[in-house]
Amino acid sequence: MNIHFGMSPAARRLRLDRPATPGRDDKAEQILEATLPLFVERGFYGTSVPEIAARAGVGAGTIYRYFDSKEALVNALFRKCKAALLSRVLTDFPFHANTREQFAALWQRMVDWAVAEPDAFAFLELHAHQSYLDEESRALEGRIVQFGVGFISAAQQRGELRSGPPAVLIGIVMGAFIGLRSKSAQCGYSVTPEDWRLAQQCVWEAIRI
């Protein structure tokens, strides 16, 4: 059995029903692109709308023509970044491969995206559980969690991963991934592709049977 058939219907739909990228208008995209580094550098509360407007090269009133509030802006940016991550991870995903190959694909695709889009990755980590996320953003996050739970549960049923709550195994994987990225930066160390492959093997050994 493979993960595609072992997952719940909701989790399987995730790869076919990815959210459209918000802000397709060029001006809205310009505002979102300017907002991203500010929210990473200063956080949501530390960034003002006039600062966003100045970085985007537009008037403050223009912001409100595209986004009703700063909360609407941060949610649009959250969904844009999540959609980009989902697209990178799930496009042409090897659903019919074995669990080890699928895990390697998931890990490497997350690495590729985090390296290519460091601000977007940092933004998602900083804002993933904040109170200003709206229902739509939380629903998107919930669908991603369903995908992870489905991946783990299906592999456990096949006897390929350790038993235990899927949330625990997900925490081990993501804790290692995020920890390597953040702690290496704090130490001034540039993680190499070989380092990422080593980390992937270590994490796999921690969760496999």
The distance of Cα 123 from the centroid of its chain, to the nearest Å, equals 9
Can you give the pLDDT at residue 23?
40
State whether residue 208 is helix, strand or coil.
strand
Q: What is the CATH number of the domain that holds 80?
A: 1.10.357.10
State the pLDDT at residue 6: 40
- Alpha-carbon gap, residue 16 to 202, rounded angstroms: 31
pTM (2 d.p.): 0.85
Distance CA 85, CA 112 (A): 10
Find, among 145, 148, 136, the residue nearest to 80 by Cα. 136
Q: Which residue, 105, 203, 107, 98, is CA-closest to 159?
A: 98
Residues of the domain holding 164 = 3-207
- Please give the pLDDT value at position 128: 87
pLDDT of residue 38: 98
Residue 138 is classified by DSSP as: H
Q: What is the pLDDT of residue 116?
A: 96
Number of domains in the chain: 1
CA distance 84 to 120: 9
pLDDT string in tens for the chain (209-residue length): 344 434 434 334 443 333 444 444 799 999 999 999 999 999 999 999 999 999 999 999 999 999 999 999 999 999 999 999 999 999 999 999 999 999 999 999 999 999 999 999 999 999 988 999 999 999 999 999 999 999 999 999 999 999 999 999 999 999 999 999 999 989 999 999 999 999 999 999 999 99
